[in-house]
Amino acid sequence: MSEQAQILQNLMELLESRKTASPDASYVSSLYQKGLDVVLKKIGEESAETIIAAKNGEQDALIYELADLWFHTLVLMSHQGIHPDQVLSELQRRLGVSGLEEKAGRSTS
């Protein structure tokens, strides 16, 4: 496993462990306790902050905000019982399939 893939694996294990941790001692546990709407709100906020950093042309800020955004999407996956491998498999399935071709092949627009 690559070092990067290992980071993802380690983080997912941490997120899983936070399901039984105290919300007073863990940010992730506090998000789980607040529930899906709060997790989704965080993703909305981090998306907006990512957009602002990109529009401002701030490379370091953009990397920081992308990390926040990725992190909160990983919290969502964990909350919903989805493993990043499932998303990676979907991306693998799409690899080499042109987005334009895929769109043209849809039965509904």
Ligand X SMILES: N=c1c2ncn([C@@H]3O[C@H](COP(=O)(O)OP(=O)(O)OP(=O)(O)O)[C@@H](O)[C@H]3O)c2ncn1[C@@H]1O[C@H](COP(=O)(O)O)[C@@H](O)[C@H]1O
Give 91's contacts (C-beta < 8 A, 6+ positions apart): none
Distances, alpha carbon 65 to alpha carbons 8, 11, 53, 81, 97, in Å: 17, 17, 7, 24, 29
Number of residues that bind ligand X (CB under 6 A): 10
**Category of 35 on φ-ψ map: left (φ > 0), alpha (ψ -120 to 50) or beta:** left
Structure tokens at 90: 């979907």
Among 8, 9, 26, 43, binds ligand X (CB under 6 A): 26
11 near ligand X, judged by CB under 6 A: yes
71 near ligand X, judged by CB under 6 A: yes
Q: How far is the CB of 18 from ligand X (least distance, A)?
A: 5
Q: Which is nearer to ligand X, 45 or 83 (CB)?
A: 45
Q: Which is nearer to ligand X, 34 or 94 (CB)?
A: 34
Q: Which is nearer to ligand X, 11 or 54 (CB)?
A: 11
The helix/strand count (H/E) of the chain reads as 6, 0
Task: Catalog residues that contact ligand X under the rule CB under 6 A.
Answer: 11, 14, 18, 26-29, 45, 68, 71
